[in-house]
Amino acid sequence: MKLKPIIKSIIILLAGLYLYSVGKNPLDHYIIHTVHLIFHEAGHFIFMFFGSQFIHMAGGTLLQLIIPIVLALYFLFVKKDVYASCFMLLWLGSSFYDVAIYAKDAIVMNLDLLGGDSVTHDWNYLLSTLGVLKYTPQIASTIFNLGTMSLIVGVVVGIYNSFTLEEVDTV
């Protein structure tokens, strides 16, 4: 048995397990949360040009999730690199965990937000506007579960791909 598929499998498995542990409290993992936060805040800026307050507020979460999805599709369909695409699914899962924490905070609004107390809590606004604020725990749980599913798919497909992909000789 070749060593490379085993190493690749161990790497993606460890990354998946680490990011799952991050999912328990993503805000404790400053670097990962900061990456998500950068895309989140950029999303507010980009989506404010769509003219809708709702889209502007949702834009942070949208871009935070769209970036790893687009990169996963890029690696899969353009680069034909399933393994790299699986890592983007891990990033997506981690991003879902980050979003789940924010969504879970929609009722109590205890998180420290950029801009302090004067800013609108995205998820409070979104869920209130949709009339589903009372379902916040279920919505946050669903988002968290989407993160877990993304991690599982990324790890399983990454491991499967490590053992089934024919190596191309580039010499």
Compute the distance between CA of residue 35 and CA of residue 30 in angstroms, rounded to an integer. 9
Residue by residue, pLDDT tens for the chain (171 residues) are: 689 999 999 999 999 999 999 988 777 777 998 999 999 999 999 999 998 999 999 999 999 999 999 999 999 999 999 999 999 999 999 999 999 999 999 999 999 888 777 799 999 999 999 999 999 999 999 999 999 999 999 999 999 999 997 654 444
Do the Cβ atoms of 54 and 129 come closer than 8 Å? Answer: yes
Compute the distance between CA of residue 37 and CA of residue 45 in angstroms, rounded to an integer. 13
Specify the pLDDT at position 112.
Answer: 87
Specify the pLDDT at position 1.
Answer: 67
What is each CA distance from 152 to 33, 82, 90, 147, 162, in whole angstroms?
A: 20, 15, 8, 9, 15
Specify the pLDDT at position 8.
Answer: 96
Specify the pLDDT at position 169.
Answer: 46
Specify the pLDDT at position 2.
Answer: 87
Phi, psi of 111 (to 5 degrees): -65, 145
Least Cα distance to 57 among 116, 96, 111, 106 occurs for 106
Specify the pLDDT at position 166.
Answer: 61
Compute the distance between CA of residue 16 and CA of residue 159 in angstroms, rounded to an integer. 11
pTM of the model: 0.93
DSSP 12-46: HHHHHHHHHHHHT-GGG-HHHHHHHHHHHHHHHHH
Specify the pLDDT at position 167.
Answer: 56
Compute the distance between CA of residue 156 and CA of residue 59 in angstroms, rounded to an integer. 30
Specify the pLDDT at position 170.
Answer: 46
Do the Cβ atoms of 43 and 61 come closer than 8 Å? Answer: yes
